[in-house]
């Protein structure tokens, strides 16, 4: 019985060390960039926006859990404690989350999001980022690339999703 009491006392004494501090729990959610998920062109750069109905990424810190959380269909506007809202004018639209992890969120911008200049806000575990500017466009080109960075050869696949590399030469037929 004395051993059980000693173990309990050690556990209680260790609680302040084991419990996360209030300071560690209040790490700010920070958005560094909002970009097209294929080209990584940033919203607003070169007068390009995030297209209605397109995939986009949010880059920053403390955006989601340390381990990757992947959405399932039908996609939801909350995943792993993360959510993303876009406001254009007086309309607020929640993005549909594909995945979330500490430094990146992948999401779909709903087609009903109004076109124009607005703001984007990320919330993770009850903590919200500052609003960042975003441009919503009716269309924007983005091509996935082999280096996954938006530059270089396009990521072209066959019907069974195998990467077609090297890319076949295609000749125009008059």
Confidence of residue 171 (pLDDT cuts 50, 70, 90): low
How many other CB atoms are found less than 10 A from the CB of residue 96? 19
Mean pLDDT along residues 156-161: 81
In this model, does residue 24 exceed pLDDT 50?
A: no
Q: What is the mean pLDDT of the chain?
A: 82
Most confident of 42-46, 69-73, 160-164: 69-73
| pLDDT at site 16 | 43
pLDDT of residue 44: 59
pLDDT higher at 12 or 78: 78
Decide: pTM greater than 0.85: no
Q: What is the mean pLDDT of residues 28-57?
A: 84
Query: Alpha-carbon distance 87 to 164, whole Å?
Result: 40
Confirm or reject CATH 2.70.150.10 for domain 27-165, answering yes or no.
Answer: no
pLDDT at 21 exceeding the cut of 60: no
The confidence band for 148, taking pLDDT boundaries of 50, 70 and 90, is confident
70, 98 Cβ separation under 8 angstroms? yes
Average pLDDT over residues 42-58: 81
What is d(CA 159, CA 163) in angstroms, rounded to the nearest whole number? Answer: 10
80-137 confidence digits (pLDDT tens): 999 999 999 999 999 999 999 999 999 999 999 999 999 999 999 999 999 999 999 9
């Amino acid at each position: 019985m004395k051993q059980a009491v000693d173990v309990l006392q050690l556990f209680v004494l260790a609680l302040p060390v084991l419990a996360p501090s209030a300071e560690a729990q209040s790490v700010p959610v920070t958005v560094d960039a909002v970009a097209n998920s294929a080209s990584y062109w940033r919203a607003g750069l070169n007068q390009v926006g995030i297209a209605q109905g397109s995939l986009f990424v949010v880059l920053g810190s403390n955006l989601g859990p340390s381990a990757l959380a992947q959405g399932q269909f039908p996609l939801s506007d909350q995943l792993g404690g993360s959510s993303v809202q876009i406001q254009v004018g007086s309309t607020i639209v929640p993005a549909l989350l594909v995945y979330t992890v500490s430094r990146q969120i992948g999401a779909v911008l709903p087609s009903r999001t109004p076109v124009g200049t607005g703001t984007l806000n990320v919330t993770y575990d009850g903590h919200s980022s500052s609003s960042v500017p975003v441009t919503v466009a009716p269309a924007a080109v983005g091509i996935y690339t082999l280096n996954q960075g938006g530059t270089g050869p396009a990521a072209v696949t066959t019907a069974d999703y195998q990467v077609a590399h090297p890319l076949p030469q295609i000749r125009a037929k008059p």
